[in-house]
Structure formats: C-alpha cells, structure tokens
Structure 1
Amino acid sequence: MQKFILPLFLLLIFILESLFSSVIPTDLFKKDTIAAPHFLFAVLVFITIYYNSGKGIYFALIFGFLFDMVYTELIGIYLFAYPILVYIVFNAMRILQINVFIVSILVLLGTTALEYYVYGFLSLLGRAHLSLGLFTMQRLLPTLLLNLIFLILFCIPLRKYLLKLLAVTEEK
C-alpha cells in the first residue's frame, strides 16, 4: 500500500493543477498576463531532494509524458524537460546546503528554465507569438509569482510529509 501513496499524491497534484488552471483566471495578477501553475514540477523537485532522487526523476519522466499527452500537441516537450530539470536541480543540491529556502529558490530557477525551454522550443516551431520581452513580462514573471505563492504556502508541509514518508519507508 505504501508504494502507491506517492504516485497517487502526484496524480492528485496533477489533477489539482488542472483544476486550478480551469477555475482561477490566467490573468490572475494583471490583465493581459498569463500565470501558469507549475505545482507538479515543484513537488517533483521536492520528492527528488527530500525523498528519493531516483524515484523523483522516474516520476518526472512519467508525469512529463502525461503532461504532454493531456496538454500539448507535441509529445516530448515536458517528457524531456521535467526529468532533465529535476536532475539538474538535484545535482545542484549536492553542492548547496539542503534547506527549504535554497530548494524553493532552485524550484523557481527550474521553473524559469522550464518556461524558457518551452518558449524556445515553440519559437523554433513558429508557434510562439510573443517577443522575448513580452514573454518575460506577460508570462514568466506572473508564473514565477504564482509559483512563489504556492511554495510559501506548501513547501514546509510538503517537506514534512516527504520526510515522514521517507521515515516510514526506511522502517520497512
């Protein structure tokens, strides 16, 4: 039963992120802006750092594929972005001190890299209709603000939950 808790938790976050996008307007902070929630990415980074790096990267691959299947027309954008960025953040944590503040900053840096990666990929395909300056002001900054609010509200409980789950798993 314990091995199903984390995948179900991630599936719940995936669904709640979808509901959040449906219920809350994308121009949450200002008109003509788009605030994209990347709560699932943040949770995947926390799992990789506080629970198990292998499982975190594995779940990043699975949920990146699921994200592509549900939300994008192209399979592979998030399928590669999630595990690679989670892996990079995990390796950065080998050098840096592991605390919630540093992890949260790395989540926001990873979110920035994810947004620029998707923007660059869509620009190469001719599907990005914003200039880089407009993208930064209208999409990236509101997205970072939204995800910062998520981290402020949920990073401590998420860390405690993952450490508790790790302790339960190590007892067996």
Structure 2
Amino acid sequence: MRIQKMRYIFPIGLFLAVFLDGTLTHVWSGWMVTPTTFVESRLVLLWLFMAVCFGEVDHIIFWSILAGFIYDMYYTGIIGIFILLFPLMVYITQWIVQFFEPSFILLLLIYLIDITILLSMGYALNLLINLTDVSVVNFIGRTLGPSLAYNLAFFVALYYPLKKLFLKYS
C-alpha cells in the first residue's frame, strides 16, 4: 500500500501560504502599504492554482473553504469573503484549465485572470458590506495594479519549483 505524500504536503503548504501572506505583508509593509499603494499578497491562491493545474489533491474545494475560513478569521475577523472566494476561484480555474494544455504563458494568463477576479470580487464584497469606501479608480490604480505585479512576480518565481513539487508527489 503506497502512502500518497501529497495528502500531507498539500495541507501543510496551504497552511504556510495562509500565514506567509500576512508575514510578507508585515515584513515588506514599508513598500506594500503606503499612502499611494496597497499591495495584497495572495500566495494562498497561487498554492490552490498550482494544485488545480498540476496536483492530484483530494477534496480541493473543501481545502479551499478551510483556507478561506482561516484566512477570514485570522486577517479580517468576518466569516464570508474568502470562504466564498477561494472555492469560487478553484472552480473557475478547474473550468478554464480543462480546455487548454498547460504551458507557462497560458497558466500565467489564467492566473492573471484569477488574481483580477479575486481582488475585484473582494473589493466589491467589501464595498457591499461597507468595509471600504475606496472609489473604483483608486482601487484599480492603488491596489489592483500593484497587487497584480506583485502576485505575478511570485508566480514567475515559484512556477517551476511548485510544478515540480506537485508533479513529483501527486
């Protein structure tokens, strides 16, 4: 009987990604959170994205709901935004990826779409429940643009190591 190592690696990596998002924001807060920019780190989405594309993870929707719950409770204290958005992003990614043969450029573009949807829906939901009053123009210029650049840089840097990890242990 073979023990599937991804059964253990995936939850540990997901848990680390949840806390790395906040840690990196805290460590680099001098340039991530300024009066003119607010960069949102979304390593959790990167981990889930790579798992959808290259991993054979059982119950990935459940894991994304759990990650969303932990993310909501740890960072916002309000259950609901990420507990809905992470599973939605997993579902959207699964739906899009089924139509294409994965390549670096194609997955980069799909990840760009995922990050844009996640950040925009997070903004819209926060606007809906009155947690923000930032205008759409300010959101796009001060949050969405810098966050896309930051998260895409992490995608480029971590693509091959994460791809190898998921392919090796799935």
TM over 0.5: yes
Equivalents in 1 of 2:110, 2:60: separation in Å? 15
- When residues 55 and 46 of structure 1 are mapped into structure 2, their CA distance, relative to the original with a 3 A threshold, is farther
In structure 2, runs of 5+ residues without a counterpart are: none
Residue 131 (structure 2) aligned to one of 108, 127, 133: 127
TM-score (norm 2): 0.90
Equivalents in 2 of 1:108, 1:26: separation in Å? 25
Equivalents in 2 of 1:32, 1:91: separation in Å? 36
Answer whether contact 1:111 1:144 (CA < 8 A) is retained: yes
How many residues were matched structurally? 166
Alignment of 1:1-80 (within 5 A): 2=5, 3-25=7-29, 27-28=31-32, 32-52=36-56, 54-80=58-84
Over aligned residue pairs, what C-alpha RMSD do you find?
1.8
Aligned to 1:161: 165
Equivalents in 1 of 2:57, 2:107: separation in Å? 14
Q: Which amino acid in 1 is paired with 2:74?
A: V
Aligned to 1:113: 117
Q: Which amino acid in 2 is paired with 1:6?
A: F
Q: Which has the higher contact order (CA 8 A, sep 6+)?
A: 2
- When residues 19 and 30 of structure 1 are mapped into structure 2, their CA distance, relative to the original with a 3 A threshold, is closer
Q: Secondary structure at the match of 1:95?
A: coil
The 4+ residue runs of structure 1 with deviation greater than 3 A are 26-31
Answer whether contact 1:68 1:79 (CA < 8 A) is retained: yes
Answer whether contact 1:26 1:35 (CA < 8 A) is retained: no
